[in-house]
A and B are shown apart, each in its own frame.
Chain A
Amino acid sequence: MVRFYGVEIRNALLLGTAQYPSPAILAEAIRESGVEVVTVSLRRESGNSRAGEGFWALIRELGAHVLPNTASCYTVKEAVTTAQMAREVFGTAWIKLEVIGNPDTLQPDVFGLVEAARILSKEGFDVFPYTTEDLVVADRLIQVGCEVLMPWGAPIGTGRGINNPYGLRTLRAHFPDVPIVVDAGIGLPSHAAHAMELGCDAVLLNTAVAKAGDPVRMARAFADAVAAGRAAWLSDPIDAGDMAQPSTPVPGKAFLS
């Protein structure tokens, strides 16, 4: 179980809602994996189209907590205004804060991120900052009011897994009581399990499920993987070593040569 701004979440898998083959498959993936938190976004709406209403009705019907994002925002002003609009539309103070710094890697502009997090925290938002694994940036984010950290695993949509396990271990060690959600770059359930085995509290992903050949089955696989990884972390795994150690007792072996 993990607690985000006072809300208890039992399922450590958080799921994005984009790129699915159909709304029905999205809904089934959420139901079958038991996901309790889903990410959503805002885009321009044409008059008379009411396109957003159907999607929003579907998400509300599923009963999941919604985590609106500020995807594609490159400036503090854009991100703050988008967050303000999201709070009104979705009726939640939660915001997945993205301030993007580079169009090729979609990596966070951590300077803008800290500033936007400061502004939004003062305005009463519960900020989930999409950040790197940089320890100093994480410290600044906490100083300005963030109670959750969301370091990337790898660039968004790459499916490369955990690029910097050392960085995530460092974050975990320095901030033992702050929920850490690995966001982005996860491609396989083993990547998600890896993040959890490093002590992270949850994993947020989208593309790896939505673009899988069978998104529903993959969503279940990810839910199983995060549960397994969490159990492993809580079980205090052994340290890796360089030399072999026999697991079967050597004393008492018959002398047969």
Chain B
Amino acid sequence: MWITINGNPCEVENTVLARILEEAGYRSPHIATAVNGVFVHRQSRAEIMLSEGDRLEVVAPIEGG
């Protein structure tokens, strides 16, 4: 199915968030996720299912003011 990851269209085989992250190459423990603008806690990633067209955001630490 097609979803967007950080704004980029992306075809993924998996539907479970945790598996999608693995498929897309996310290995760092220092990331956080939101689906369609809603925060998904780390513990919930194995339960959350994505659907066609969903928007996944993955963020990590960066410098800030």
> What is the interface of chain A, defined by CB distance below 8 A to chain B?
16-20, 26, 39-48, 50-53, 55-56, 59, 68-69, 71, 77-78, 81, 84-86, 88-90, 156, 206-207
**7 A-B pairs with the lowest CB-CB distances in the bound complex, closest first:** A41-B64, A52-B60, A47-B25, A16-B65, A85-B32, A206-B65, A45-B60
Q: Chain A at the B interface: mostly helix, strand, loop or mixed?
A: mixed
Is there an interface contact between A40 and B62, defined as CB atoms closer than 8 Å? yes
Give Cα A71 to B25, complex, Å: 27
Interface string of B1-13 (1 = CB under 8 A from A): 0000111000000
The docked-state distance in angstroms from the alpha carbon of A89 to that of B40 is 12
The chain A residue sitting closest to B27, CB to CB, is A50
A16 to B25, CA, bound (A): 30
Evaluate contact between B65 and A45: CB separation under 8 angstroms: no
- Roughly how many angstroms separate A47 CA and B63 CA in the complex, as a whole number? 19
Q: Contact check, A56 vs B26: say whether CB atoms are below 8 A apart.
A: no
Contact of B59 among A44, A50, A71, A156 (CB under 8 A): A44
In-complex Cβ contact of B34 among A46, A81, A156 (8 A): A81
Contact of B64 among A17, A47, A48, A78 (CB under 8 A): A17
Within 8 Å CB of A69, what residues of B?
Answer: 64-65
The distance in angstroms between the C-alpha atoms of A81 and B58, with both chains bound, is: 12
- Chain B residues 16-65 with CB under 8 Å of chain A are 21, 24-28, 30-34, 37-39, 41-42, 57-65
Contact residues on B (Cβ < 8 Å of other chain), bracket: 20 to 34
| Docked-complex contact B61 and A59, CB < 8 angstroms | yes
Contact across chains for B65 and A46 when beta carbons are under 8 A apart: no
Q: Contact check, A43 vs B41: say whether CB atoms are below 8 A apart.
A: no
CA A90 to CA B42, docked complex, whole Å: 13
In angstroms, Cα B58 to Cα A42, docked, is 9
User: For residue B37, which residues in chain A have a CB less than 8 angstroms away from its CB?
Assistant: 77-78, 81
Contacts of A86 in B (CB 8 A): 32
A18 pairs with B65, CB closer than 8 A? yes
CB <8 Å contact, B34 and A85: yes
Compute how far the CA of A155 lies from the CA of B63 in the bound complex, rounded to whole angstroms: 19
A17 → B minimal CB distance (Å): 4
Q: State A55–B28 Cα separation when bound (angstroms).
A: 13
Rounded to whole Å, the gap between the CB of A57 and the closest CB of chain B is 9
Residues on the A chain within 8 Å of B33, using CB? 85
A43 touches B59 (CB 8 A): yes
A26 and B32 alpha carbons, distance in the complex (Å): 25
Contact of A52 among B5, B30, B41 (CB under 8 A): B30
Q: Is the CB of A44 within 8 A of B61?
A: no
